[in-house]
Amino acid sequence: MLAWTWTRAAAAYPVSFTLMVGFGLMMAAVDLAVILVVFANTTALAGFTRAEVLFLYGAANIAFSVADMCVGNLDKISQHIKAGTLDTMLLKPAPAWLQAAVDRFTPSRFGRVLQSVIVLVTALAALDIPWQRAWMVPVMIATAGVIFASLWTLAGAAQFVLTDAPEVVNAFTYGSGQLTQYPFSVYGRDLVRGVTYVLPLAFVNWQPGLYVLGKDDPFGTPEALRFLGPVAALLLALLAALAWRQGIRRYRSTGS
Amino acid sequence: MWAAAAGAFTNSVFGILRAYVLIALWQAKPGLAGYDVLDAVTFCFVTQAFIGPMQLFGGGLTIPERIRTGDIALDLVRPASLQAWALSEDLGRAAYLFLVRGLPPMIIGALVFGVVVPSGAGRWAAFAASFALGVLVSFAWRYLIALSVCWLADDRGVVTVSMVLTTFFSGMMLPLPIFPGLLGDVAATLPWAAMAQLPADVYLGRAGFADAVPFQALWAVALLALGALGTRAIRHKVVIQGG
């Protein structure tokens, strides 16, 4: 309902709203343009064709941009702490997490969602994936959404400690978005190990994507890992919920 | 201080991620556009190091805020030129950010992948000149964007367009010489090439003093002149309300 209020507020200025969606599309287009320029120079990047990379990019980016639109404002929690608005949120009879997530909900970020959907549909049309494996596509997008939302929650929770340097969490949230734009075969073995077993970013689009594309993992992980995404996402979500609770518990208002 | 450290950290993380993509591309096409793999990695970290001092994502100037609050009226009656005053403020900020946000990504790049380090005082001097001009062109561009608030009540649109143009056409995302066909030819002549692409090429020794500096100086003069015209225009535009 809070989100709807912000949407109505934004829609009160339809021209401005349309423009903002358009600008969101434009900003997202830069990442896409980079991929297209790369593939104007080569036909394969680390063993993946243009359509395959666009599929991985589209799938991850739908989840990333939806998470950014819905809970991306969690990383502004340090501003709420400094301004004292967090106290107000804690007093209201709705979860603080929900209030912080939808505060200043910006539907204009919808432009980015739209762009990723277009890219994914185009890539899927070019790839011709058999329906026996295509069922994984919605599963992986939902899994990825949970993973990104958990990351933002963790980022918000971390700011209870890091009120002085809130930007440091951007490296994790936006960095994860950047990381999952490309097949993990471009990255170093140790980095991929880290984002498989420590921070489960490999389950955003890499492991399930390999299954959809019918490819073997160049790093040689077992086949079973392709289907473990939902489990990993659930574990991360639990961890994020715990961290958030700890953050709220640690919080001491300065009073007024 | 902590904010700058966080910025340097973020720039370094993105530098590493971008470097891997460039490495994969240069492994597929060795020697593409005359860069070898080490050059490409260096290019990536040098341009990441430019983000802070050149404010490649836009902003850094207080003028839009001052136009909105009305403080700009006071600034315009001061006996110093608004443009020169904003420039001196921006240069100071750039010098500070060069140290705290420019050096860390370079050091991390050197530790993780290894980077090219220019040899000889001549190349360092050429780089220093080219870098300084890059900051100047960047300032001149951002000054124009900041002044635009005076005519457009809402500056978010211009700011977004500027950010898209700057990140893409400065070479920060990918080196401009690998842009295909006409796009590459056009990109090389635009002012954004003077911001990241040319100083990075001078750093790598791919472009000499004479290739980069006159081009950059030309754009700096052109954009600063436009900025001066803009300053004169807002003098007539500003109506001081209240008493």
In chain A, which residues have pLDDT < 50?
A: none
CB-CB under 8 Å, A30 with B167: yes
Residue from A213, A32, A210 nearest A117 by CA: A32
Least Cα distance to A147 among A72, A75, A199 occurs for A199
* pLDDT number for residue A139: 93
Which residues in chain B come in under a pLDDT of 70? 153, 238-243
Touching A: B residues 148-187, CB under 8 Å: 154, 156-157, 160-161, 163-164, 167-168, 173-174, 178-180
> Looking at residue B241, what is its pLDDT?
57
Mutation site for B-interface testing, chosen from A17, A20, A23 by largest number of B Cβ within 10 Å: A23
**Nearest beta carbon to residue B173 from set A30, A166, A187:** A30
Chain B contact set for A186 (CB, 8 A): 20-21, 23-24
- Testing the interface with A: which of B16, B17, B186 to mutate, by most A Cβ within 10 A? B17
Q: Is B73 on the interface with A (CB under 8 A)?
A: no
What are B156-195's pLDDT values in tens digits? 788 888 999 999 999 999 999 999 999 999 999 999 999 9
A60-85 pLDDT per residue, tens: 999 999 998 888 888 888 888 888 78
> Would you put residue A106 in left (φ > 0), alpha (ψ -120 to 50) or beta?
beta
- The answer, for B34 touching chain A at a CB cutoff of 8 Å, is no
In the DSSP assignment, the letter for residue B172 is S
- What is the C-alpha to C-alpha distance for residues A6 and A15, in angstroms, rounded to an integer? 16
Q: Are the C-beta atoms of residues A36 and B170 closer than 8 Å to each other?
A: no
pLDDT at site A16: 73
Question: How far does A94 lie from chain B, in Å, by closest CA?
Answer: 32
Other CB atoms within 10 A of residue B68 CB: 13
- Which pLDDT value is given to residue B243? 45
